[in-house]
Amino acid sequence: MNGRSALLAHQSACRACHVCVDDGIIPEATPTFEGRWGAPFFLVGQAPGPVERESRRPFSGRAGKELDRWMLRAGFESPEEFRRLTYIAALMRCFPGRNRAGSGDLKPPPAAVANCAHWLDAELRILKPRVLILVGQLAIARFLGPGRLEDRVGRRFGKGPVMVPLPHPSGQSRWLNDPANRQRLTIALTLVGQLRLTLAPASVSRSNSDGGPEQPHRARRAATNAIRRQT
C-alpha cells in the first residue's frame, strides 16, 4: 500500500473510532481532523470544540478565525492555502464536552488523549511532515515536555520535523495580553512564514506572478530579521 492509500485507510478507520464512548469518557464520538497526502505542515491542537463537533472541520469556530488571521500574518495567501498545505489534527479528536459551569470546554481527559495517541502517531509516520505547528500548552508539552509558553513561543525546535509552538487562539487565555508575549507570537508566525517560503515556493511564485499581495516579500524580510534577532 502506498502512502496516499495508507492515509485514506487510516482516515476511514479513524472516522469510525468510538473507543472513548465505549470507555464512558464521552457520550458521542465525532472524530475531527482534516488534511491531505503531501501536506508539509502538520498542526497539532488540543481538541475540537462544539462548533467543530457539528462541522467536523478542525478550527471552524471562533478560534479558527483567529488562527486564520495568524496564518495570513505568517504569509499564507489565504486560509484555503494554509489548509491545503497543512494537516490538522488534535491530541483528542472528539469534543470532550463543556465544563460544569458552562464557561468553556473541558480539557481533554488523559484517558482520551491516551486512547487517541495512536491515530496521531500513525499520521506522523505516514505523512512525515516537515513542520509541526504545536498549538497550545498540551500539544506543546506532548512533543517538547513541560515548560513555560514564554520559553517556547517565538522559537523553533528540532529538525526533522521542525517544531514551532504557538499559544492557543481561543481567546480564553490572557497570555496574549502581555505585549512581550504578543511579540513572541509575532516571531513565531514569522518563523512559520519562513518555513512556508522554503516548503511551498511554487505557491509563492504563483501569487507573485498573479500580481497578488506583496505579503511573501514582507514575510521573508520579517523572517530574516527575526532569525537574526534570535542568533
**Shortest spacing between CB 3 and ligand SF4, in angstroms:** 21
**Shortest spacing between CB 18 and ligand SF4, in angstroms:** 5
**Chosen residue from 9, 19, 151, 205 binding ligand SF4 by CB under 6 A:** 19
In sequence order, the β-bridge partners of residue 41 are 86, 131
Q: Match 457520550 to its residue by C-alpha cell.
A: 27
CA end-to-end span of the chain: 44
- Comparing CB distances to ligand SF4, the nearer of 52 and 77 is 52
Q: Per CB under 6 A, which of residues 36..95 are in contact with ligand SF4? A: 92-94
117 vs 215: CA distance, rounded Å: 36
Q: Cβ(68)–Cβ(157) under 8 Å?
A: no
Which of 213, 225, 30 has the alpha carbon at shortest distance from 116? 30
**Shortest spacing between CB 113 and ligand SF4, in angstroms:** 8
- Residue window 129-158: x/- pattern of binding to ligand SF4, with contact defined by CB under 6 A: ------------------------------
In sequence order, the β-bridge partners of residue 44 are 89, 134
**Chosen residue from 74, 112, 164, 166 binding ligand SF4 by CB under 6 A:** 112
How distant, in Å, are the alpha carbons of 17, 70, 87, 190 from that of 124? 18, 24, 10, 24
Q: Is 20 in the site for ligand SF4 (CB under 6 A)?
A: yes
Interacting residues with ligand SF4 (CB under 6 A): 17-20, 29, 31, 92-94, 112, 115-116
